[in-house]
A and B are shown apart, each in its own frame.
Chain A
Amino acid sequence: MDRATVERVARAAHIKLTEEELERYSGDLNDILEYFSLLDEAPGSDVIGVNPIMVADVLRDDEPSMDIDPDELLSGMNTYERYVRGPRLS
């Protein structure tokens, strides 16, 4: 993973890196990815599965309900007239 790639990845992940971090992470990630190349020779499988056990067809009925008071959730948030405060959009 070269520096340019690390920069691109960091931008996508919304992490700002200092010069020192950029250098260090490039080195670490290169070692790690080199180790990951073991995967290329690893056996595959036809089994579809996002989970290690088969999790299938778990659904809930379309019935509205609210267990937790939204005011309680908002109490820890930075709000203005019940709106959650956020950064500048553009």
Chain B
Amino acid sequence: MRYSLEQLRSANARYGMFHAMADTVEGDFQFSAKDNLTSKGMETCAGSRILEGYVPAFDATAISKIKAAGGTLVGKTNMDEFGFGTFSANSGFEIPRNPYDTDRACGGSSGGSACAAAVFEGHVSLGVSTGGSICCPASFCGVYGIAPTYGRVSRYGLIDYGNSLDKIGPISADAKDLRKFTYMIAGKDPKDPTSCVQPDGFGEDRPVRRVAVPKEGVEGLSQDVADAFEKALSKLDSLGIETETVDMPTLKYAMPAYYVLATSEASTNLARYVGMRYGRQDGDLSLKFDDYFSDVRSRCFGDEAKRRILLGTYTRMAGFRDRYYAKALQVRQAIIADYKRVFSDFDAVLAPTMPFVAPKFEDISKMSALDSYKADYLTVPANIAGTPHMSVPCGYDPDGMPIGMQFVTDHWNENLLFSTAELWQENFTARRPEVVM
């Protein structure tokens, strides 16, 4: 459905999904993209005040491919600063509100994207996942979202968080869009070397048959999530999809390894923001460069950005590098080997996407940094392994808040996920939020 500018603005006033918005909304169909994807002529800030005023001279490859297919970019979606968060509450700008209950978060870090996908009918929004930032908000907002294999979609134009982890993928209320838009944006791009090693196809095209549920993936769940997941497993069984509990002993190391790699890489990516060349350039140039840089960075980075910069700087410092950064690289390989072992016997690995439903903002503010890091324990393993993973809505709690489950397949096997999502959609009754605009 095509929305008018007034409708988009009115929805944005209520839900806060967009940062920058388009002036005109003509074209075949409308889409939006997370604000860490560069958009030519439209301000791009990645949720950070330090990038205020940055108007890129080029479109991210994923955006230019959708534009080429007739899409109109209507807005850039709000997110945690540089992707640093689980609830989009670490945004330097507007915090998107959950369409099912505006006192609750949309999840993160692609919160604005999942929000837009849930609010606007027939709307696809591009998200970016580093540690779960597509599946988490998709789950909280009751929509479908996929993070394709690492390297499937060109990252040209993506404002980096962790370059060895970042993946771009579509979020939509319609399962069929996952296939359509992943096909649209995938492919080798000479501007991103990591996109140039992908195979031509997307693997076998049928729903999954045998699915592994790791023991580690059903621990620590809220009762509502555990109940909904239990029901979903019986439904899968009725659809002829077999599930079996397995051990994946490396999964418990995924969280620390992920946070080490992600923050190590992030702290180098964010080194470029020094108040020169783009974004905020309003410091006092008569300061010595070290002081000038520190001044701008301390003023313009948010709290979580500073925390992750400090953490990532520490984990790659001489003397600590081997214990943290170098070890984490190895642990990633061990986790990948663990997944490959399971995939020799199963089509997919399945678990709930998040251990709880979208929390209220007042509860989020009480969480410690480590608590909120730990909330990602179900989405992080597939992300560190670079394996494709997808969240589908699988139930609702007594308050009507959506619950999602996440399928993970082997590298380059997105078709299994698409077919499974399409089959699931035919057999699952989704509840749309009551949208007010």
Contacts and interface: CB of A to CB of B under 8 A. Distances in A.
Interface of A: 1, 5-6, 9-10, 12-17, 21, 25, 28-29, 31-33, 35-36, 38-40, 42-45, 47, 49-56, 58, 60, 68-69, 72-73, 76-78, 84-90
9 contacts: A9-B314, A25-B310, A40-B323, A40-B327, A51-B151, A53-B194, A53-B386, A88-B286, A89-B289
Contacts of B306: 15, 17, 21, 25
Given A32-B370, A90-B288, A54 B327 contact: no
Interface stretch (B130-138, B229-237, B251-259): B251-259
Residue of A15, A16, A17, A77 most packed against chain B (CB within 10 A) = A15
Contacts of B290: 14
A28 B259 CA distance: 14
A23 to B, nearest CB: 13
Contacts of A87: 276, 283, 285-289, 291-293
A60 B256 contact: no
Contacts of A36: 256, 259-260, 315, 324
B379 interface: no
B289 A88 contact: yes
Contacts of A31: 368-370
Interface in B342-390: 368-370, 373-374, 384-387
B287 A76 contact: no
B327 A39 contact: yes
Contacts of A77: 276-278, 281
Given A15-B297, A36-B260, A86-B276, A25 B307 contact: yes
Interface in B194-226: 194, 196-197
Contacts of B329: 49-50
A27 B146 CA distance: 36
B283 A39 contact: no
B333 A47 contact: yes
Contact of B193 (A6, A58, A78, A84): A58
A38 B313 contact: no
B311 interface: yes
Nearest to A59: B193
A17 B194 CA distance: 36
Contacts of A39: 253, 256-257, 260, 323-324, 327-328, 331
Contact of A88 (B164, B288, B297, B386): B288
B153 interface: no
B307 A29 contact: yes
B59 to A, nearest CB: 11
Nearest to A18: B298
Interface of B: 53-55, 57-58, 149-151, 164-165, 190, 193-194, 196-197, 250, 252-253, 255-257, 259-260, 267, 271, 274, 276-278, 281, 283, 285-295, 297-298, 301, 306-307, 309-311, 313-315, 317, 323-324, 327-334, 336-337, 368-370, 373-374, 384-387, 411
Given A15-B301, A32-B311, A52-B384, A84 B194 contact: no
Contacts of B295: 16
Contacts, number: 187
Nearest to A47: B333
| In the complex, the 7 A-B pairs of residues with the closest C-beta atoms, listed nearest first | A52-B386, A87-B292, A45-B333, A58-B193, A42-B253, A16-B298, A44-B330
Nearest to A73: B57
A35 B370 CA distance: 9
Nearest to B387: A52
A12 B313 contact: yes
A13 B327 contact: no
Given A36-B259, A55-B151, A29 B330 contact: no
Nearest to B267: A13
Contacts of B332: 45, 49, 52
Contacts of A76: 53-55, 278
A49 to B, nearest CB: 6
Contact of B369 (A5, A32, A84): A32
A53 B260 contact: no
B277 A15 contact: no
A77 B54 CA distance: 9
Contacts of B54: 76
Given A31-B370, A72-B57, A88-B289, 14 more contacts: A9-B317, A28-B368, A28-B369, A36-B260, A42-B257, A49-B329, A51-B386, A52-B164, A54-B197, A77-B278, A86-B276, A87-B276, A87-B286, A87-B289
